[in-house]
Amino acid sequence: MPVHLYGSVVDIKKIKKITNKKKIYIIDDCSQAHGAYLDNKRVGSLADISCFSLYPGKNLGAYGDAGIITTNNLYYYNKIKNFRNLGSTKKFVHTQVGFNSRLDTIQASILIEKLKLLHSNNIKRRKIAKFYDLKIINKKIKKLNYSIGAVYHQYVVITEKKKKLIDLLDRNNIQYGFHYPKSINQIESLKNVFSRQKYPNSENLAKKCISLPIDPNLKKNELFKIVKILNSF
């Protein structure tokens, strides 16, 4: 179950070299990668089943909670379609236990209109990310390696001086985010599940990562201000 985290695309070709030999199916999480691609193939067509969140904050977001699943497999398609509608494809006939997870018509209408803007907004995100890549030259800030077809749902950097950087951004009214401030083994309700192993990489990233502004509507003067402040840190 690979996750295209921050809008950077997992190299599913490498995963398939393993899964194809063992008859393992791939379900990828595309919730942060709407419009991203790998070798000219869009995310959503790379795995056996692909899951998208359409939460308002996503690159393609509804005006409320929403989501979609894509697949090229007719059997999976019928099974999922049945499952999302209380286990029914025909009224009052329920062939399995399911959920009430239908996408509201009003949300679908909004998404159809916003879908028209997805490509242009993703281009803007890529331009902002490239600007950061070139202009942020502070050695205290480490940049992540995103895939070629990334859509930059988040632009995440790593720093050993996280608190100091946060204070600086706060003083200059620059917004930021944490994706994610705790690794899964540090979450209270799951600590016992993961207590037998240590996860130094996850914990280290959670401790040091910070997300910079990446909204496609950012203006040039705002971007120059952000970079200037980051380089002065």
Q: Which domains does the chain have, with CATH numbers?
A: 5-109 (3.40.640.10), 119-232 (3.90.1150.10)
Q: How far apart are CA 48 and CA 105, in angstroms?
A: 26
- Looking at residue 25, what is its pLDDT? 94
Cα–Cα nearest to 100, from 89, 85, 112: 85
Q: What pTM did the predictor assign?
A: 0.92
Write the CA distances from 126 to 78, 147, 167, 173, 204, integer angstroms.
Answer: 36, 11, 27, 23, 27
Question: Which regions of the chain are under pLDDT 70?
Answer: none
| Amino acid 90: pLDDT | 87
Six token digits for residue 88: 């029914």
DSSP code, position 50: E
pLDDT tens per residue, range 180-229 = 999 999 999 999 999 888 899 999 999 999 999 999 999 999 999 999 99
